[in-house]
Structure formats: C-alpha cells, structure tokens
Amino acid sequence: METVRQTRPTAPLICRLLVVDDDLIYGRLLSGLLARVPGIQVVGTARDLAGAKARIAEGNVDVVSIDVVLGHESGLDLLEWVKAYHPSVTTLLITGGENERARNDGQGVLLGAAALVRKPAIDAPQQLASMLTDAIRHVMFHRRYVSRQAVDQRPVQRPQDLVHTRAEVVVVGASTGGPPVVTRLLRDLPKAFDTPIVIVQHMLADMLPTFAAQLGDASARPVALSRDGEVLEPGRVYLAIGNVHTQLRRVGSGLALAIVDAPQVHSVRPAVDPLFESAAAACGAAVLGVVLTGIGSDGALGSAAIHKAGGRVIVQDLDSSVVWGMPGAVCAVDAAVAAVNPDELASTVAKMARGGHPSHSTTLKIPKLRDA
C-alpha cells in the first residue's frame, strides 16, 4: 500500500478516496487523475485485500473504489468486509470482463455497493476516472444534502379503531443500496405471505435477470421478470424489466402487468412512479407501497397517488438508508405512514398488508431544510 501525496484541495472536500487496484501502473495512473479532481483527495492506493483493510482501518477514508479482480483475490470480499466493519465508508465497485460481469455485478449490488462502474472496453484510465468522479459526486452530494437537513421525529398518529383494507398487491421501489434490503424483505416475510409483490429496482437492464434469480434463491420464493399481460398470482414476486415501465391494470377481478414503452421518468426506466400510480388507479385503497433507499425523488408522486386513493406507504428510515433521497421525498409530500429499518420491514409489511397498523414504536422522520 502506498500513499499519494498532494496539496490540500482548494475546492470544498467531497471525499477522501482510497483506490484499490492490483495493477500497479494502472492504479497509479487512475489515482493521479482522480487526485487532480477538485474536491477529491486521494489518500492512498492498495493492491490487495490486506493492504486495503489496513488503510481503511486507519480511518480518514470516505470512499473506496474497488476493482473486482485483485490478482488471485476478489474485490467482492473486500466489499463485504467494508459493509460489515466500516458501514460508513462508501464503496464503488469497478467491474469488467464480459464473461464474469453479470455475476460480479449481481453480487456487488446484493452486498450493497453504492455504485457500479464498468471499465471502458478500451483500457482508458482517463475515461474510468471520469466515470468514477461522476459516481462519487452523485452519491456524496445526496449524502451531504440529507445530513445538512434538520430532521424532526414525530410519532405516527394511528387511530386504533380505523380498519384498513387488506392489500391486493404490494409495490416496492428502490434504487441505490436497495438490493440487499429488497432481498432481506423477501427472505424475512412469513412463508405463508401470499400477497403478490411487484418491484422496481433501479439497475442496469442486463443485471436484472441475475438479480431476479438471486432474489429467488435467497428468499425461496418464485421471482420472475415482468411480462406484459401476465396476471398476478398469490405468493409470486415480479421484478420490473429494464428499458420500459412496468404498470398494473385491472383484468376482471384480478390484476395484470402492463409493459409500457414510454419515456424515462426521473431519468430512469423502469421508474417507481408509473408503477405506484397505476397501482393506485387499479386497486384504490387495496395497495401497500414500500419505498426503500435511493437517490432522487422517484416514488414520491406515486406514493402521493396511493395515499390519495386510501392506500398506505412505508418508507425505509434515514439511519439505515444508503441515500435517503427517495424515502425522504415521500415523507416530504406527507405520503408515508411509517418509517422503518430493515429489521422491522418484513414484519411491518406482513402486518399492514393484512390491514393492520404498524408498530407503536415506529416514527416518521420528516425532512425540513435549514434556513439559509
């Protein structure tokens, strides 16, 4: 492991970055290019797991860029270690190689990488440095934005005599940091839970089949990619396919998936809002929405539609979210009835899908911007 010396950046510090790459020359080139970016302070490079762990344990590291291939070692092992022992450190996974890419990318998102950056087809450190810079700025900006907000906590008001409609469907939206939480939700739900679940996870389209398979393996539930016209069946999980929107429509007394080739919403396809809005239109009060960690505000308008129709929406709480953009946006439009951590998520979903109330201990964290 070696330290990269540089002068203190004149721009406001975005992050202190550790570069992990087994190729000495490539790692030095990449580190040098990133060190010139205003706001990024490269604090060191490491070529193997031992060196990387030692440097992270020293502290003063905000972000680690991890190459999946580290000689005879795997960067995925480092990613798992960071999440277990240094969860405040943001991890960016660098992937490459067509044969192993889907498997590595799938494992990376399940382990909670904040972003996946693919090496350019042509060995180009300059292009990779630019891609990493964009990812760092994107993730760190939203983390800083949330941390600068004044957050009020208030108990959720739950009139105990109010009977809620049993959910006909559970719709889930997630983005950055979402795959591990989605996996845990499906895994922890009671085996007897049979309400259909439809999920939109912001993810590269070619990763979705692998993610669907991993969800099925981890949860022992039937998980399939969404198909146009497919009627929802009890106990099944449907993952929205890429490059189109997945919506719901009423078919007789049941619900069916509708694949809609429409423009991007919030710069993504599939997006959460089209699914949630269609669920509200098709089901009225008989829908339960779940919005998990993610950058941006996708899901807020759809959650408002569910709330207006009489349905309910749960969000992931601030403390457990990688980025509290999407859940925070739902709270900001006053559309959430509960904010929970992953430990409580499955039990809360199971209870509320039956028409019950969330736990008395559940609190909402409502973001309010500080006065400038």
Q: Give tens-digit pLDDT for 9-58.
A: 456 777 899 999 998 888 888 899 899 988 899 999 999 999 999 999 99
- pTM to 2 decimal places: 0.76
Residue 159: predicted pLDDT: 44
Average pLDDT for residues 271-279, to the nearest whole number? 97
Q: Which residue has the higher pLDDT, 135 or 65?
A: 65
pLDDT in tens, 236-263: 999 999 999 999 999 999 999 999 999 9
Q: What integer best gives the mean pLDDT of the chain?
A: 84
pLDDT exceeds 90 at position 281: yes
pLDDT band at 62 (very low <50, low <70, confident <90, very high): very high
Place of tokens 């330290």: 3
Given 202, 245, 266, 357, which residue is catalytic? Answer: 202
Q: Which amino acid is at 168?
A: E
Sequence-ordered strand ranges (E) for 11-145: 15-20, 40-46, 63-67, 69-70, 73-74, 90-95, 115-118
Which of 4, 7, 29 lies closest to 17 in space, CA to CA?
Answer: 4
Residue 9: predicted pLDDT: 42
Residue 8: predicted pLDDT: 43
Q: Which residue has the higher pLDDT, 277 or 84?
A: 277
pLDDT exceeds 60 at position 7: no
Task: Tell me the C-alpha distance between 42 and 54, whole Å.
Answer: 16
Is residue 369 left, alpha or beta, with left meaning phi > 0 and alpha meaning psi from -120 to 50? beta
Do 15-147 and 154-368 fold alike per CATH? yes
Q: Which two tokens stand for residue 127?
A: 């292009």
Output the CA torsion sign for 246, 249, 255, 256: negative
Average pLDDT for residues 142-150, to the nearest whole number? 54
Q: Does the annotation mark 202 as catalytic?
A: yes
Residue 358: predicted pLDDT: 76
Q: Does the annotation mark 298 as catalytic?
A: yes
Residue 371: predicted pLDDT: 37
Q: Which residue has the higher pLDDT, 180 or 98?
A: 180
Given 31, 142, 164, 175, which residue is catalytic? Answer: 175
Residue 177: predicted pLDDT: 86
pLDDT in tens, 332-367: 888 999 999 999 999 999 999 998 877 655 666 555
Please say whether the beta carbons of 64 and 82 come within 8 A: yes
Secondary-structure class of domain 15-147 per CATH: alpha beta
Residues 6 or more apart in contact with residue 323 via CB below 8 angstroms: 114, 139, 142, 143, 146, 175, 176, 177, 293, 294, 295
Given 266, 298, 303, 317, which residue is catalytic? Answer: 298
Q: Does the annotation mark 319 as catalytic?
A: no
How is domain 154-368 classified at the architecture level of CATH? Answer: 3-Layer(aba) Sandwich (3.40)
pLDDT in tens, 71-107: 888 888 898 899 889 988 988 888 775 445 445 555 6
Q: Taking the CB of residue 137, how many other CB atoms lie within 10 A of it?
A: 15
Q: Domain residues of the chain, as ranges?
A: 15-147, 154-368
Give pairs for 256-265: CB < 8 Å, separation 24+.
256/229, 256/230, 256/231, 256/232, 257/198, 257/226, 257/227, 257/228, 257/229, 257/230, 257/232, 258/228, 258/229, 259/226, 259/227, 259/228, 265/298
Residue 71: predicted pLDDT: 84
